[in-house]
Amino acid sequence: MSDLAARQAAFMESLLDEERALPGDWGARHAAGIEIYRNNYRSALVEALRSNFERTERLVGEDSFARAAAHHVITHPPSSWTLDLAGEGFAQTCGELFANDPEVADLAWLEWAMHLAFVARNAEPLSTESFLEAAGTFGEDDWVSLRLEFLPGLQVRPTRHDLKLLWSSLGEDAGEVEIACHTDKAATIVWREGERPVFISVDAAEGRALEAMMAGATYGEACDRLVEEAGPQAVELAGTMLRRWLSEGMVERIA
């Protein structure tokens, strides 16, 4: 490592670790200077988190959020060139810090997924009509081996809470925060409709089927899993979920 590279690594460590001793040839003026840089570093990252997790901040309150954000900045110092990714892993941080309030991690995940969907690659969803036209000639084997590519930015995760209710109760002009658990196991799907990130809650089995197909599983493999989970209702559920994915505009194309 060159002399400059070593000095920059030490400077960066001083920025990240406020208790780190400064170089021996630095005086009070340097100490005052590095304090400005440390403050800039911290405030830029905390501000980025506040901007990406507005509703999470409203849910836990400003002070708790500020502590969580400061903790995240220390435990997840950024490595990417873009400040846009400062919130990566913040939902996990919330899961650890608010372990008794699991709705916080659910909501933070949702806000982060919507943030990523907001700037995902533009793509036209495949319409139900176009899909049906292509599927008109499908034989049984074609259905079993069907693979789909989903819209860029689409994400799914199992969630325990009614995020639609929580989301709307945390709007800027909303009143009391409403927290409710789903009666059945559920998953939340996030994607972008035009320029607007949106989400819906679905049955957990559908969430797992979607996750599997996003990872490259065929429709046949996803249906096999549904049969294991949902039993006789699987056939109906398989049709319902595929129609939903198409009608909601989640599918980009047949792979």
Partner 1 sequence: MHSIDPFHGFGLGLRRTHYADFLEGEVPVDFVEVISENYMVEGGKPLRILEEVRAKHPVILHGVSMSVGSAHGLDHDYFARLRKLAERIEPLWVSDHLCWTRTSAHNSHDLLPLPLTREALDVVCDNIDHAQEALGRAMLFENPSSYLTFPEDEMSEWEFLSAMARRTGCYLLLDVNNVYVSAQNHGFSAQDYLDGLPMDRVRQIHLAGHTPATEDRPITIDTHDREVCDVVWALYASAIARTGPVATMIERDDGIPPLAELIAELDRARTLAAADGAIAA
Q: Which stretch binds partner 1 (CB under 8 A): 36-44, 139-147, 198-206, 227-235?
A: 36-44
SS3 for the chain is: CCHHHHHHHHHHHHHHCCCCCCCCCCCHHHHHHHHHHHHHHHHHHHHHHHHHCHHHHHHHCHHHHHHHHHHHHHHCCCCCCCHHHCCCCHHHHHHHHCCCCCHHHHHHHHHHHHHHHHCCCCCCCCCHHHHHHHHCCCCHHHHHCCCEEECCCCEEEEEEECHHHHHHHCCCCCCCCCCCEEEEEEEEEEEEECCEEEEEEEEHHHHHHHHHHHCCCCHHHHHHHHHHHHHHHHHHHHHHHHHHHHHCCCEEEEC
Q: Which of 19, 21, 25, 129 binds partner 1 (CB under 8 A)?
A: 25
Which 85-144 residues touch partner 1, going by CB under 8 A?
86, 118-123
Q: Which stretch binds partner 1 (CB under 8 A): 44-52, 90-98, 182-190, 208-216?
A: 44-52
Q: Which of 5, 136, 140, 184 binds partner 1 (CB under 8 A)?
A: 5
Nearer of residues 84 and 101 to partner 1, judged by Cβ: 84
Should residue 70 be labelled a site residue for partner 1 when binding is judged by CB under 8 A? no
Output the smallest distance, CB 137 to partner 1, in A.
32
Q: Give me the residues that bind partner 1 (CB under 8 A), please.
A: 2-5, 7-9, 11-12, 15-16, 25-26, 29-30, 32-34, 36-37, 40-41, 44-45, 48, 77-84, 86, 118-123, 152, 192, 195
